[in-house]
Amino acid sequence: MIHKNAADKLIGRQTMVREDFIELLGYYNNPEIRELLREEALQLRKQYYGNRVFTRGLIEFTNYCKNNCYYCGIRGANPNSIRYRLSQEEILTCCQKGYRLGFRTFVLQGGEDPFYTDEKMTAIIQEIKQRYPDCALTLSIGEKSRKSYQLFREAGADRYLLRHETANDAHYRRLHPDNMSLKNRKRCLWDLKSLGYQVGAGMMVGSPGQSVQTLAEDLLFLQELKPQMVGLGPFIPHHDTCFAKEPAGSVDLTLYLLTLVRILLPEVLLPATTALGTLDPSGREKGLMAGANVIMPNLSPLKNRKQYELYDDKICTGEEAAECLSCLEKQVNAAGFSLVSERGDAWQWQSNIPPQATGH
């Protein structure tokens, strides 16, 4: 017992209200409580996942994007972004390389690129699942209709990453142009969940306009959605965006949020993100020590790595996947964990019987 209401409530798995989350975020300034919470997070992580760290092979297959999120380096209106798309063959080559390296999850991530119609995506998904039936396939290709999500699911996609970015409406509008809405973002996430995907939401830490209040709303939303995965990384300015002059998010606050999310959703799959490793050379190790249990090394072809530039100075753009992996392995071991070669499903999926889809 920490004898602070909100912290005890969180640890006791009671339902939290907005004020509880605000109080919890306030403990960021109390090193003692922060450390106690971190230990609790590590304990929970250990209970569900032991010392294992799951890996995901990230394939950034297109940097074309029809959207214009103000923070993002590959937003459609950035004329300086050099665009590329990978062919189906190139994507499959990445998977082959990844499989040999021990990856059993592939993440297809891209901008919202209309070139990849539902038909094209479905064909790619089916081909990957046919060649690698023992692997999980995660999509991260943005907002789509329920119908599209259903087609991808039926084609074999297992998981979907779509960060909500912020659960506060005014803050969402500060980060995105008028043609995007928090309402649609949430609709997507609920659709994905009801279709039986393992779903990942999440937010940047320190995005312009973020406050304790908006972060509390993020945590409230995560409590409500109960995603299987949460992507949490610091905001990092990109020189070709309107946020070029904004300060980057805080590594320590990101670590604290990883800790809170691990306690809030004990079984969650929580990556120590590349953005965290970009701001601090030992950021990913620190992430694991704060409650994270997933690492997502890059499997994209070297020739395109630098072009998938969401933010400035992104790390691991010059290394082959194999080099990245051995470097990561050292870091992971140094933090007392070990990389494993398995699908790494969310805990309640590990029986291989996914919960019944509740879709209509």
Kindly state whether residue 72 participates in binding ligand FES, applying the rule CB under 6 A. yes
Closest-CA residue to 110 (of 124, 96, 126): 124
Which of 75, 144, 164, 343 is in the footprint of ligand FES by CB under 6 A? 75
| Residue whose tokens read 């019944």 | 356
Kindly state whether residue 203 participates in binding ligand FES, applying the rule CB under 6 A. no
Q: Are 58 and 300 in contact (CB under 8 A)?
A: yes
Q: Rank residues 16 and 162 by Cβ distance to ligand 5AD and give the closer one.
A: 162
Q: How far is the CB of 112 from ligand FES (least distance, A)?
A: 5
Distance CA 72, CA 236 (A): 9
Which of 24, 25, 33, 65 is in the footprint of ligand FES by CB under 6 A? 65
Task: List, in order, residues 6 or more apart from 166 with CB less than 8 Å away.
Answer: 172, 175, 182, 203, 207, 210, 214, 217, 218
Question: Residue 204 binds what, of ligand 5AD, ligand FES, none (CB under 5 to 8 Å, by partner type)?
Answer: ligand 5AD
Q: Rank residues 64 and 347 by Cβ distance to ligand FES and give the closer one.
A: 64
Question: Residue 268 binds what, of ligand 5AD, ligand FES, none (CB under 5 to 8 Å, by partner type)?
Answer: none
Which of 20, 94, 98, 111 is in the footprint of ligand FES by CB under 6 A? 111
Q: Is the dihedral of CA 247, 252, 255, 257 positive or negative?
A: negative
Q: How far is the CB of 23 from ligand FES (least distance, A)?
A: 33
Question: Residue 86 binds what, of ligand 5AD, ligand FES, none (CB under 5 to 8 Å, by partner type)?
Answer: none
How deeply is 303 buried, as exposed, middle or buried, from its count of CB atoms within 10 A (0-12, 13-18, 19+)?
exposed
- Which of the ranges 68-76, 92-100, 234-242, 322-330 carries the binding residues for ligand FES, by CB under 6 A? 68-76
Q: Are 168 and 213 in contact (CB under 8 A)?
A: yes
Q: Are 128 and 106 in contact (CB under 8 A)?
A: yes
Q: Rank residues 30 and 250 by Cβ distance to ligand 5AD and give the closer one.
A: 250
Element of type H or E holding 161: strand 159-161
Question: Residue 283 binds what, of ligand 5AD, ligand FES, none (CB under 5 to 8 Å, by partner type)?
Answer: none
